[in-house]
Structure 1
Amino acid sequence: MVEEIDYEGLPQNAGLGVHMLAGALAGISEHAIMFPVDSIKTRMQVFGASPAAIYSGVGNAFTKISSTEGMRALWRGVSSVILGAGPAHAVHFGTLEAVKELAGGNESGNQWLATALAGGSATIAADAFMNPFDVIKQRMQVHQSQFRSFLSCATTVYRAEGFAAFYVSYPTTLAISIPFNAIQYTVYEHIKRVVNPGNEYSPQTHIAAGGIAGAVAAAVTTPLDVAKTMLQTRGAASAQDIRNVRGMLDAFKVIWARDGVRGFGRGLTPRVLTTMPSSALCWMSYEFFSAPRIFHPRVP
């Protein structure tokens, strides 16, 4: 008699590798598809930009950039994401599943603490790997960036600012990512268990739960993301107060002095627009690639 493997009942000897591969594939899909909107988000968060790089909204940004720089400008820096996102997401999802299992998150009931701990732990490891790639990406995304290749950007930043430039934003990145992933993963798991109590493979469930979870997490952490962008692009700024920013608190002071409370919401709309579908795609891809029917045949 042929018996179906339960949806989340992956064989123990292949579980971690499967989850890491699924995470890598999901991460590349997530970031590459939504990259143009992410580029707009970065530009809207840059302080002291020239009038040509000030946008009233996402639609205005698309129109301005396409008419003055061409649509290719919105894809500048995508190579950095492709190089870094796969391995970083493999680390993220591998850690996520390992910690979730150790903390009892796979047991019955809503294991809020276990899923939050798993989400937070996963991002510490993943962001340590991804942070330099993110710095390079944002340096290439800014208006009138001098960089056209990943290698030239990495080399120039290293020679001009040293290795520390690739990690000056790491504490702020963690300050964003830990609550972001904890919120996203917890909301995702909760919604999934409510609307799909049978734990069956359901693309609609994964898309809806992932989109809502991503939107909530993105909105809550936007002020920290504005500070991170300032830290990662400070070397390209002409204003001395921005170039002198050394950490998250310095960035908050400059944001407040320049734009008040409104400054902390810069890029909120494109950040949510980017994160909501990309999170939905990420979770759908992850669940799809990690499903037993993809990696494992039916067993007797």
Structure 2
Amino acid sequence: MSGIEEPDYEALPDNAGLAVNMLAGALAGISEHAVMFPVDSIKTRMQVFATSPVAVYTGVGNAFTRISATEGMRALWRGVGSVVVGAGPAHAIHFGTLEAVKELAGGNEAGNQYLATSLAGASATIASDAFMNPFDVIKQRMQLHKSEYRTVLTCAKTIYRNEGLSAFYISYPTTLAISIPFNAIQFTVYEHVKRFLNPRGEYSPGTHMTAGAVAGAVAAAVTTPLDVAKTILQTRGSATDPEIRNVRGMSDAMKIIWKKDGLKGFARGLTPRVLTIMPSTALCWLSYEFFKAAIRSD
């Protein structure tokens, strides 16, 4: 045994306080997004309707190999700055709201609090997505094939000058349509898988990772069709297709997906989305639980 004592996880209160949860969430969010960013870049490219054959990919491996060979590895990281800047505060808002609503709704009481945990997840999403949506738009514009943007600030200024403030929020209703069920599903599945694997509530990194991965995979698969629509909305200003450039909302995006690719179009990017979200949610929950326990033990 080392001389450093581990935090007594079981002795910590269920609700550690707003500041602790927000700081833990911010650190977890940055860790989550930065690690899996290259796969997320591939997902974005697979979801857009590219006009150039060079930008059409048959799978994650094919995309990774071709992008690395033709554009270099750095292209897979383009836009990560937007995520780093936005993810910390957005996740702080998310987890702070999550734990506050969970406590108020009775989610920390004994038993399976399905309604409380779902409500907490949905409430956290509304708040955090309002902050994060513009950063996500910038990120996806920078991830595109032959993107003209090299810095977050340049991208933001250009979008604002050419398309106005609305460009940063045209996808917000769709983002909420994804995120509310995504986070409600993720948080609920996470809580119940965690309790099933670790009924004593001990600090267990393996449990947090496993529960997070399962929760993320389920939520990602269910919400992929909406994510394809969101990508079309967020990248419309960079599209050459006039029909896509003039898309006005989620309904228009859905119609375009159906017209251009049929039912299979709603599964575009499914594999990289799940591959991104599974480890990222596992890392997010692992980091969150670790930082929360570590901060409270100081």
- Report the TM-score when normalising by structure 2: 0.96
Give the Cα separation in 2 of the matches to 1:11 and 1:217.
Answer: 25
Specify the alignment match of 2:4 in structure 1.
none
Give the direction of change, closer, same or farther, for the CA distance of 1:206–1:246 in structure 2 (3 Å limit): same
- The answer to whether the 8 A contact 1:48-1:239 is kept is no
Give the Cα separation in 2 of the matches to 1:8 and 1:56.
Answer: 50
Give the Cα separation in 1 of the matches to 2:167 and 2:14.
Answer: 42
Offset of residue 50 of structure 1 = 1.2
Give the Cα separation in 2 of the matches to 1:8 and 1:85.
Answer: 30
Match of 2:141 among 139, 142, 149: 139
Give the Cα separation in 2 of the matches to 1:104 and 1:119.
Answer: 13
- The answer to whether the 8 A contact 2:50-2:56 is kept is no
- 1:88 matched to 2:90? The reply is yes
Give the Cα separation in 1 of the matches to 2:42 and 2:51.
Answer: 13
Runs in 1 of length 4+ with deviation above 3 angstroms?
4-8
Give the Cα separation in 2 of the matches to 1:11 and 1:26.
Answer: 18
- The answer to whether the 8 A contact 1:77-1:136 is kept is yes
Q: 1:166-185 alignment to 2 at 5 Å?
A: 166-185=168-187
Structure 1 unaligned runs (5+)? none
Specify the alignment match of 2:102 in structure 1.
100
Give the Cα separation in 1 of the matches to 2:278 and 2:120.
Answer: 21
- The answer to whether the 8 A contact 1:8-1:199 is kept is no
Offset of residue 238 of structure 1 = 0.6
Specify the alignment match of 1:128 in structure 2.
130
- Report the TM-score when normalising by structure 1: 0.95
Match of 1:243 among 239, 242, 245: 245
Specify the alignment match of 2:31 in structure 1.
29
- 1:9 matched to 2:17? The reply is no
Specify the code of the residue in structure 2 equivalent to 1:242.
I
Give the Cα separation in 2 of the matches to 1:187 and 1:10.
Answer: 22
Give the direction of change, closer, same or farther, for the CA distance of 1:228–1:11 in structure 2 (3 Å limit): closer
Specify the code of the residue in structure 2 equivalent to 1:105.
G
Specify the code of the residue in structure 1 equivalent to 2:176.
L
User: Once superposed, what is the RMSD of the aligned Cα atoms?
Assistant: 1.4
Give the Cα separation in 2 of the matches to 1:10 and 1:19.
Answer: 12
Match of 1:229 among 225, 228, 231: 231
Give the direction of change, closer, same or farther, for the CA distance of 1:256–1:107 in structure 2 (3 Å limit): same
Specify the alignment match of 1:295 in structure 2.
296
Aligned length: 293
Give the Cα separation in 2 of the matches to 1:219 and 1:278.
Answer: 14
Give the direction of change, closer, same or farther, for the CA distance of 1:8–1:264 in structure 2 (3 Å limit): farther
Q: Percent same amino acid at aligned positions?
A: 75
Give the Cα separation in 2 of the matches to 1:265 and 1:96.
Answer: 29
Specify the code of the residue in structure 2 equivalent to 1:277.
P
- The answer to whether the 8 A contact 1:127-1:173 is kept is yes
Give the Cα separation in 2 of the matches to 1:142 and 1:94.
Answer: 32
Structure 2 unaligned runs (5+)? 1-6
| Residue-by-residue CA offset, 1:120-144 (whole Å, 9 max, x unaligned) | 0000000000000000000000000
Offset of residue 11 of structure 1 = 8.8
Offset of residue 198 of structure 1 = 1.0
| Residue-by-residue CA offset, 1:239-276 (whole Å, 9 max, x unaligned) | 01101100000000000000000000000000000000
